[in-house]
Chains A and B, each alone.
Chain A
Amino acid sequence: MSPPSSSPVVLQLHGITKRFGPLVANDSISLTLHRGEIVALLGENGAGKSTLMSILFGHYVADEGEITVRGQPLPPGQPRASLAAGIGMVHQHFALADNLSVLDNIIVGSESLLRLQSAKRQARAKLVEVARQFGLVVDPDARVGSLSVGERQRVEILKALYRGAKILILDEPTAVLTPQESEALFATLSQMVAQGLSIIFISHKLGEVLRVADRVAVLRHGKLVAEAPTAGSTQAQLAQWMVGEAVSLPERQPAAQVGGEVCSLRHVHTTASAKSTARDRLVDVSLVLKAGELVAIAGVSGNGQVALADMLCGMRRPGQGTVQYLGAPMPASAVALVAQGVARIPEDRHGTGVVGDLPVWENAVSERLRSPWFSRWGWVRRAQARSQAQHVSRQFDVRGGGLDAPARSLSGGNMQKLILGRALLAPQGAEGVAPRLIVAHQPTWGLDIGAVRFVHQQLLAARDAGAAVLLISDDLDEVLALGDRIGVMHEGHLSPVLPFADWSRETIGLAMAGSPMTAPVHQR
Chain B
Amino acid sequence: MSDVMDILANASFWVAVLRTATPLLLGTLGVLLCERAGVLNLGIEGIMVAGAFTGWLTVYAGHGLWTGVLVAALTGAVLGSLHAWLTVGLALSQHVSGLGITMLATALSYYGYRVSFPKVNTPPTITPFEAMDWLPIPILGDQTALTLLALLLVPLLAWVLFRTPLGLAVRMVGENPQAAEGQGVAVMAVRSGAIIAGSALMGVAGAFLTLSAFNAFFFNMVNGRGWICVALVVFASWRPGKALLGALLFAFFDALQLRLQQSGDGLVPYQFYLMLPYLLSILALVLVARKAAYPQALMKPYRKGER
Q: Report A's interface with B, CB cutoff 8 A.
A: 54, 57, 59-60, 78-80, 83, 89, 91, 93, 95-100, 104-105, 107-118, 159
Contacts and interface: CB of A to CB of B under 8 A. Distances in A.
B287 interface: no
B163 interface: yes
Task: Determine chain A's interface SS by DSSP, over half rule.
Answer: loop
B180 interface: yes
Interface string B291-307: 00101100000000101
Given A79-B184, A109-B185, A118 B168 contact: yes
B179 interface: yes
Interface string B146-190: 000000000000000001111011011001101111111100001
A471 to B, nearest CB: 29
B164 A108 contact: no
Contacts of B168: 104, 107-108, 118
A57 B181 CA distance: 11
Max chain B CB contacts within 10 Å: which of A78, A96, A108, A111?
A108
A100 B181 contact: no
A159 B179 CA distance: 11
Contacts of A98: 175-176, 296
A57 B182 CA distance: 8
Contact of A97 (B184, B296, B305): B296
A282 B163 CA distance: 42
Nearest to B186: A80
Contacts of A107: 165, 168
Contacts of B183: 79, 83, 95, 108-110, 159
B305 A59 contact: yes
A78 B307 CA distance: 16
A115 B164 contact: yes
Nearest to A95: B179
Contacts of A97: 171-172, 175-176, 179, 296
Interface of B: 163-166, 168-169, 171-172, 175-176, 178-185, 190, 293, 295-296, 305, 307
A112 B296 contact: no
Contact of B181 (A79, A105, A110): A79
A113 B180 CA distance: 13
Nearest to B189: A113
Contacts of A54: 307
Given A80-B184, A100-B172, A105 B179 contact: yes
B163 A118 contact: yes
Nearest to A84: B184
A116 B163 CA distance: 8
A76 to B, nearest CB: 12
A99 B179 contact: no
Contacts of A112: 165
Contacts of A96: 176, 179
Nearest to B295: A99
22 contacts: A57-B182, A59-B181, A78-B184, A79-B182, A79-B183, A83-B184, A95-B179, A95-B182, A95-B183, A97-B172, A98-B296, A100-B171, A105-B172, A108-B183, A109-B169, A110-B165, A113-B166, A113-B190, A115-B164, A117-B163, A117-B164, A118-B165
Considering the complex of A and B, which 5 residue pairs feature the smallest CB-CB distances, nearest first? A97-B175, A109-B183, A95-B179, A80-B184, A111-B165
Given A99-B295, A104-B168, A109 B175 contact: no
A95 B176 contact: yes
Nearest to B176: A97
Nearest to A120: B163
A118 B164 contact: yes
A114 to B, nearest CB: 8
A108 B185 contact: yes
Contacts of B179: 95-97, 105
